[in-house]
Amino acid sequence: MRTHGERPPRPEDPFAEAAAAARRELVREIAAGGDLQDPAWRAAFEEVPRHLFVPYFYTGGGAAPCSSAAESSGEGGYERLWCEDADPDRRRRWLEGAYLDRPLATRVRDGDLVSSASQPSLMAGMLHALELRDGDAVLEIGAGTGYNAALLSHRLGDDRVTTVDLDEDITEAARAHLAAAGYHPAVVTGDGARGCPGRAPFDAVVATCAVSSVPPAWPAQCRPGARILAPLSTGLVRLRVRDAGHAEGRFLRTSAFFVPLRGATPPAPVVHTGGLPRRATDNELFRFLLTLTAGSLDPHEAYSLWQRERRPARERFGVTVSGEHQWAWLDDPEGPYAWPLGARG
């Protein structure tokens, strides 16, 4: 197993020196926010070269078109920055962007974002929330660029990390990025909602894509006591697994917005806000409640609950998985406020 201080062998990297300086600044910024208190995770962020995982990314999109045809990717107004651009200024912008504490659009299809690299500080918070220990085996749902799998591999060792994605193009690219950085976890092409039974059991499951309910395969492939961390509604729910059919936990304080999980999983509910006061629809915590309870409460019922409970924060909400049933709740899993998750009309 790789120790935290070892730098994995890598091919010659023309950006190594500038990237190392940018990486140090990124780590200082994340640490200042309190998300790198664990020395093992700080070492991972200091060592893993994020730029090798984003050889290109897209900026803009959805708003004004790019300023010229030469700068446009032709994908919904996104501008593509990449490491081999002939223009040195654009290469500089690419490298600087790779080490900013922000998400990066990495795959655009027919003008729609289908894959992205998550914001590093959010990744640090999620990794910390997993409460990993030496020897733990982790399943990541959503390979993305491979960067998160590299951080996990740095902390745990390649043989303890499995990352799954539905899109073969994504897994092939992630595998190549990981190899270029000196990491070799298991990269599997498949439906993340089905987990990865051939690599189970796991001590933790972390999803880097949003779900509307917890796929039953995830707790079923975990050891008792395992942690599951997944984006749901606009938050992050952390569950503790009791056994193959039972898990329970609360939402973290932070907000989180991820590309939806594709595959055998129910679609996210459609939320309508017509007729609600703007002070509610503009409030991010109310939108979290509205999405979480969609299909169970109409928007006006959700608004009444929000007022009655004095605008409850995310950490007052939780999720319980029990056999074929799972539900979200406020304050108490057996209390008066509970809403089924899963397929909704």
Number of H helices, E strands in the chain: 10, 14
**196 near 215, Cβ under 8 Å?**
no
Distance CA 98, CA 49 (A): 9
| Inter-residue contact 57 to 104 (CB < 8 Å) | yes
User: Order of strands across the sheet with 112-117?
Assistant: 78-82, 56-60, 104-109, 112-117
Per DSSP, the three-state class of 187 is: strand
Largest CA distance in the chain: 62
- Sign (positive/negative) of CA torsion 4, 28, 19, 86? positive
Task: Name the nearest CA neighbour of 78 among 115, 119, 112, 120.
Answer: 112
Q: Is residue 30 a contact partner of residue 22, using CB atoms and an 8 Å limit? A: no
Residue 89 backbone phi and psi in degrees, to 5: -70, -40
Dist. CA 282–CA 124, nearest whole Å = 28
By annotation, the residues acting in catalysis are 118
DSSP string, 39-78: HHHHHHHHHS-GGGG-SEEEEE-SSSPPSSTTTB-SSTTE
User: Is 17 in a helix, a strand, or coil?
Assistant: helix
Rounded CA separation 229/172 (Å): 25
| Residues contacting residue 275 through CB under 8 Å, at least 6 positions apart | 299, 300
H/E stretch holding 300: helix 299-308
